[in-house]
Copies of this chain bind each other. A is one copy, B any other.
């Protein structure tokens, strides 16, 4: 399956979209790159830096003549983007996205696009805590698992072409149901985000913070890293993956309450809780990588 496209339009030139532009260039995945960003001047800046060949002032303009459109905006922005580009897509234009949640995006696409068979949702399992064009990195997608979430409408050929591109970018495509994707990322990425956010706020508003900030080292830095991500992206995750995230957050709160009970009772059996978490993490790290 050919992984090369003639013109790829990237809508959203933050960390994910701009890194995709760099990766597409490196992999020879696009003869021409068209870019659009809702923030004034960003697309032009991407063009000046050579990330894209053409900077467009609107999403509609950017997708004209494209054979692949990649939506790389925060999830909620995709709803309007899909509606905005729908009248301007060619009859065979493929559309995919890089959004953090999938069930809603896939539903919007089915609802708004003229040819839902040419849409497949996507979510590369990678990221950085820094955001924006300036954080772009050609190696961002190297070796990552890249979820592809077909709907009932998605044509096998559309799936195969996008999967071939993902492979050409050095990532590993994994076909997965949108709702199952959302439940899985709630348990890992989205709960991590809430845990790190609450941890950062708790620590910095603690009476001991003035001393603690001088003592905080690698452990605290790593545990809170994802709290430095884009707040808008985090908001959209909460607004589009609410129920799965509530379910894992409640399970997390229950775990913490159990730990609190063991702590308050000075129960030495709390060691077994730590040992179980360590064993679970060590087993996860030791698991064979997906082919």
Contacts and interface: CB of A to CB of B under 8 A. Distances in A.
Contacts of A201: 255, 273, 276-277, 280
Q: Which of A194, A249, A253 has the most CB atoms of chain B within a 10 A radius of its CB?
A: A194
B188 A203 contact: yes
A174 to B, nearest CB: 7
A184 B185 CA distance: 32
A187 B214 contact: no
Contact of A253 (B184, B189, B197, B256): B256
A199 B16 CA distance: 26
Number of identical protomers: 2
A241 to B, nearest CB: 9
A198 B145 contact: no
Contact of A252 (B147, B198, B204): B198
Given A226-B222, A263-B246, A199 B206 contact: no
B127 A278 contact: no
B214 A196 contact: no
A126 interface: yes
A225 interface: yes
A187 B200 contact: no
Given A213-B284, A217-B125, A235-B268, A256 B198 contact: yes
A262 interface: yes
Interface string A173-195: 01010001101111111011111
B280 A202 contact: no
Interface residues of A, number: 97
A215 interface: yes
Contacts of A219: 127, 188-189, 192-193, 225-226
Nearest to A179: B208
A282 interface: yes
A255 B192 contact: no
Contact of A202 (B189, B198, B252, B273): B252
Interface in A90-133: 125-127
Interface in A199-233: 199-209, 211-229, 231-232
A143 to B, nearest CB: 10
Contact of A239 (B211, B259, B266): B266
A145 B215 contact: yes
A160 interface: no
B185 A212 contact: yes
Given A256-B249, A284-B216, A223 B235 contact: no
Given A183-B207, A197-B273, A201-B280, 4 more contacts: A188-B220, A192-B223, A219-B226, A239-B270
